[in-house]
Amino acid sequence: MEKVKFDPGLTQQYSAPLRRAINKDGTFNVARLGTSWHDVHPYLHLVSISWPRFFLTLLTGYIAVNAIFAVVYYALGPNALQGDMSNGRFMTDFYFSSQTLTTVGFGHIAPKTHPANIVAAMEALCGLLGFAVATGLLFGRVSRPSARIGFSDRALIVPYQDGMSLQFRLVNRRENSLTELEATVMLMTVDRNGGGSKRTYDVLKLERDKVYFFPLTWTVVHPLDEDSPLRGKTPADLEQLQAELLIMVKAWDETFAQTVRQRYSYRFDEIVWNARFSAAFEINKNGNMDLYVDRVGDHARITSQT
């Protein structure tokens, strides 16, 4: 295959060994430095962080806002609120703040002075706006389409027809229906010719780069023919080239009626030679197909070739 002289956005500059270009979770191995708080978008941050961090952020913000208003009530003096003070003055202020912020209002505690009523009114407004924002963030997270395509742990070099091929396998780990899958595979290597080092990229020709339906598994195959940049390469050659397979999968999510994408990569040390994938599905006694999602990466060494 003729080398495609292009940069897919990962730069051709190479100054030191890189662990990998794309992490296993699909993120790029790039740490963003030199940014300031002006560059942080709260909404993008809160819809992209993990669920535990998201709920921890909401809980921290809820406690912080109640604590701030409790301090304000406390500063207004002991006569600012009236009612049951058996929990102590500050904790009473805190509990009243939480009841006002959530508009629950049990009625055991109430503002007494004019300043306290003004603060309570402002807190109620903050509560209405704050919970509206939190609800919008929660909806944005749960309604955001995202792919959960499982990749085999290893890519394989497998006997194929009259030669060899590179293969890896995909499976949809969720119950939603994905259709019109397209796969793009690039080989990234480090060229050290000419006394310098430079990354080069080759788009690999696939036996089939798209499928219409994805109810089972899809084995993506790149034949190692005379045009393949992998033809004739050994494991030692790929290690010397710091080879990495960069994969982009695009599909149509029928649940959200949107296009979803997922990235993945295999480094040279994640390629198994002379192995073959094991079956990940079978037909049960009722004539239906049973798919074992956890078997997407199952493979066995080839002991002999016929």
Residue 267 has a pLDDT of 93
Mean pLDDT (the chain) is: 87
Q: Residue 3: pLDDT above 70?
A: no
Residue 15 has a pLDDT of 61
Q: Tell me if 54 sits within 8 A of 46, measured CB to CB.
A: yes
User: What tokens does 301 get?
Assistant: 């060494």
User: Which residues lie across from 263 on neighbouring strands?
Assistant: 248
Q: Tell me if 224 sits within 8 A of 166, measured CB to CB.
A: yes
Q: Sorting pLDDT into bands at 50, 70 and 90, what band is 1? A: very low
Spatial separation of the C-alpha atoms in residues 139 and 133, rounded to whole Å? 10
Q: Residue 18: pLDDT above 70?
A: no
C-alpha distance from residue 230 to each of 16, 159, 269, 293, 297 (Å): 23, 14, 15, 29, 22
Region(s) of the chain under CATH 1.10.287.70? 38-142
**pLDDT tens digits, 151-163:** 999 999 998 888 8
Q: Sorting pLDDT into bands at 50, 70 and 90, what band is 167? A: very high
Angle between helices 89-101 and 51-75 (to 10 degrees): 120
Region(s) of the chain under CATH 2.60.40.1400? 149-301
Phi, psi of 178 (to 5 degrees): -110, 135
Q: Sorting pLDDT into bands at 50, 70 and 90, what band is 101? A: very high
Which residue has better confidence, 193 or 296?
296
**pLDDT tens digits, 230-262:** 988 999 999 988 899 999 999 999 888 889 999
Angle between helices 114-142 and 89-101 (to 10 degrees): 50
**Secondary structure letter of residue 22 according to DSSP:** B
Q: What is the pTM of this model?
A: 0.74
- CA dihedral (141, 146, 149, 151) in degrees, to 10, reads -80
Helix (H) or strand (E) holding 252: strand 244-253
**pLDDT tens digits, 122-156:** 999 999 999 999 999 999 888 887 778 999 999 99
Q: Sorting pLDDT into bands at 50, 70 and 90, what band is 200? A: confident
**pLDDT tens digits, 71-84:** 999 999 989 898 88
Phi, psi of 260 (to 5 degrees): -120, 155
CATH class of the region 149-301: mainly beta
State how beta strands 244-253 and 289-291 pair: unpaired
Architecture of domain 38-142: Orthogonal Bundle (1.10)
Average pLDDT over residues 192-214: 84
